[in-house]
A and B are shown apart, each in its own frame.
Chain A
């Protein structure tokens, strides 16, 4: 019944008090204000580290609210309708174009243009938040999809544990080799085959690495029936038929899509780089290969901006400008083995210690972030046409690819 009460406060007046973000100078104001910040659960660890570090070095205090992934859109929507958004909130980068278009974020272009390192900020995230040439969001946490492999399982299967599969075919061969060891409960690979977001995150890079495109330039046309995409589906269909894919993948709606690998029961999979620090065993990391080699990644994660309802724009900018500083990027994010969102800091002292971080940072430059207004409905929603397409191609072995693809285009065009 939550829907019933949404509109009650919808006609609140907006009279911004205090200086806006743009009037506050390059670093904003640090005057002991309390700021509220919302983010979704998958990025809880990184958000907590950032907020704790900020709170211990500033007078402003940021109060963090972590919302379960599935409820985040509903919560933000309810708050947006009633004028109750927090000062700062993060959004899955694929939703950012829509939310910026709906006016949920304040224009930060004056502040962002004032940053001396603007050109080295991750381009995918910046352009996702761009409307009419004005930037509205900064990268909060970058989450890249990477090929992870379990070195011990590779060794057991007689594969070279130091060498990443270079093509999608080699990936499939490695998965089958791990499967062939016939160890109890061990499978070659895994994927979230009932989770649109997971599939976007892990399979789009294979298409990009193969030189293909997933969307037309305007984000209103789906190119997911093209040759490169078809090769990707065929490889996975073959993998699924061969039994080298964790069986629960077929019904996996998202909550446990990485669990098999994290527990050491899956040989190799396309996996979020944010989980590198919490993977307890020895893993190799590489970019996601395409059918004929190459490497790419989905530059996902969350963008963050100042909400339309915030009356503390200057204080909120203080947090954002600190967040982009070398201090936060290197001493908080990189220290936790996370990807920095500034290319000029990619070779920081923590990255140099761990060659896997260098790999991730390098591939980040080759990655992409798709931009489309109706991205959620077309791809992430549990009933999305993208999910229907993949399940028809990979699991059900049928379906009309062109028709399924046209359905995605129809939703993107709405």
Chain B
């Protein structure tokens, strides 16, 4: 196979003569403008607004009433559900991340080889990902309902309800999330697995490595970038969990399943109606997320080097 070398690029001197540096810089700014406008409008401005809200007295119904820092942060941390919601969110995140990553990797290993059956399996694992999270939650709301569910007779017979006790509610919601996202993480893991060269495995096999040894010493280390990506995605997603709990449990039973984002929503719209305190919690969550993600990325990088 012959490779054609790319033709020599025109020398900078020639280009420089045609376009004076000032104009080139202008052109550069012009190229960057559309993205910059979107970033400023949709990211920077809202972010600054939230920061401003978090240091202002800002009731939902009357709007900005002036700076009151740091009252909102004090109120946020002293909120009667703040600690509970942080603990619950962390608990849920650990549970969801462990289950999703293990199951995603397991499924990916299961359907790694392309065959007709495996293609069918892959598709069926992935189908739930095509459903929006809110729609999936509504689907499970009916499925879990002791009143409308097709499983109602079973629940009645066994005397259990899916959302009736704090633990049942946590596990039922986690099941929904695993059902909804396992296929998605399987695809990410598959991509990672297929990035591992086949000859490495071949070498391992000829050296007489067992399946377990191959998995421990070759698959896992070479999958590290994928694992980093999926962990960051899963941890961040779980820490920001909202829809599933909002629809399925509304924080109940007995306030046992309130996540941090739900707390923000409740403070803003369900009773307290205080956007200032809600923004303060948002800022706290944002800082925590930045810190957690930085730590995760560092952990994965330092092991790599």
Please give the residue numbers on chain A whose beta carbons come within 8 Å of chain B beta carbons, in ascending order. 1, 3-8, 10, 73-74, 76-78, 80-81, 98-99, 102-104, 194, 246-248, 250-251, 253, 256, 259-260, 374, 376-378, 380-384, 388, 391, 396
Contacts and interface: CB of A to CB of B under 8 A. Distances in A.
A81 B61 contact: yes
B170 interface: no
Contacts, number: 115
**Chain A contact residues: over half helix, strand or loop, or mixed?**
helix
B53 interface: yes
Contacts of A253: 250, 252
A327 B185 CA distance: 62
A251 B257 CA distance: 13
Interface of B: 46, 49-50, 52-53, 58-64, 81, 145-148, 156, 161, 163-164, 250-255, 258, 264, 266, 268-273, 275, 278-279, 282
Contacts of B63: 6-7, 10, 80-81
B107 to A, nearest CB: 32
Contact of A74 (B49, B58, B250, B269): B269
Given A7-B64, A10-B63, A382-B251, A251 B53 contact: no
A99 B49 CA distance: 25
Given A5-B46, A7-B49, A388-B254, A104 B61 contact: yes
Contacts of B148: 256, 259
Contacts of A7: 49, 52-53, 58, 63-64
Nearest to B46: A4
B88 to A, nearest CB: 12
Nearest to A73: B269
Contact of B255 (A3, A247, A259, A388): A388
17 contacts: A3-B279, A5-B46, A6-B275, A8-B49, A73-B273, A74-B60, A102-B61, A104-B61, A194-B250, A251-B146, A256-B145, A376-B271, A377-B271, A378-B271, A382-B270, A383-B258, A383-B270
Given A259-B147, A377-B273, A396-B254, 11 more contacts: A8-B49, A10-B63, A81-B275, A102-B59, A194-B250, A251-B161, A251-B163, A256-B147, A256-B148, A259-B148, A382-B266
Nearest to A72: B269
B42 to A, nearest CB: 9
